[in-house]
Amino acid sequence: MNKQINIEDLGTKDFKDTWDYQEQLFQSILDVKIKNRREATAMQTTNYFLFVEHPHVYTLGKSGEMSNLLLNEAQLEQKGATFYKINRGGDITYHGPGQIVGYPILDLDNFFTDIHKYLRLLEEMIILTLAEYGLETERSPGETGVWLGVGTPFARKICALGVRASRWVTMHGFALNVNADLGYFDNIVPCGIKGKAVTSLNVELGVERISETEVKAKLLKHFMVLFEGNNS
């Protein structure tokens, strides 16, 4: 089993270009697995973890409802945003400046073959990272992601998750609001969940800006421990 994880920070990159790149890496892993099975070879598969920040974009997962996008085409253009229907799970979400997006493209055969555990560990990575900033965050029963104030009238989501997996290879991932413009969430029903708010790390801490470089380092530290991976 290969637990080495190649880390790439793509900086600011268009959503569609990043999606195409994910698909390329995803398919390269699948190709190795298919070859191993067909030809009884034992080539190692490669694992990746991509960090990226997208320009304003709304994405709708396979099980999502178009009615959860509250903008028409002209309004999207006016706001400088794009829209894509994509092949991950979940409903609608927003990506944009001030948000850390992470796309682990892993062969779970190298770690464990359990998608439920995979999602819970991604959530745990976020929970442990935010704890370093003094925030107590948690899961909301039946709702993927990381929240504050669960069970109160002030429940608010700080991190969304949505993944795709085939033959135990993953793509897509998480979006953590660090310095996000929360106004863009007003144009959707986030994750298809009505009546619950969205928040950002800088808002919760009452500061203008948090170092995204610092947050990425903390996320990566916890990810490597939870997945028992290495990037040496």
Residue 18 annotated as lining a ligand binding site: no
User: Is 98 labeled as ligand-binding?
Assistant: no
Tell me if 184 is assigned to a ligand binding site. no
Which residues lie below 8 Å from residue 43, measured CB to CB, with a gap of 6+? 32, 35, 36
| 92 labeled binding residue | yes
25, 191, 219, 220: which one is catalytic? 191
- Burial label, 139 (beta-carbon count in 10 A; 0-12, 13-18, 19+): middle
86 annotated to a ligand binding site? no
Q: Is 161 annotated as a binding residue?
A: yes
**Catalytic residue list contains 191:** yes
Q: What span, in angstroms and rounded, lies between the C-alpha atoms of 137 and 200?
A: 12
CA 80 – CA 110 distance, rounded (Å): 40
Q: What is the phi/psi pair of residue 86, to 5°? A: -130, 175
162 in a labelled binding site = yes
Is 133 labelled as part of a ligand binding site? no
90 known ligand binder: yes
Identify any residues that bridge with 159 across adjacent strands, giving them in sequence order. 146, 176
Calculate the CA 55 to chain-centre distance: 15
Query: Is residue 227 annotated as involved in ligand binding?
Result: no
Residues 67, 24 contacting (CB under 8 angstroms): no
Q: Which residues are catalytic?
A: 191
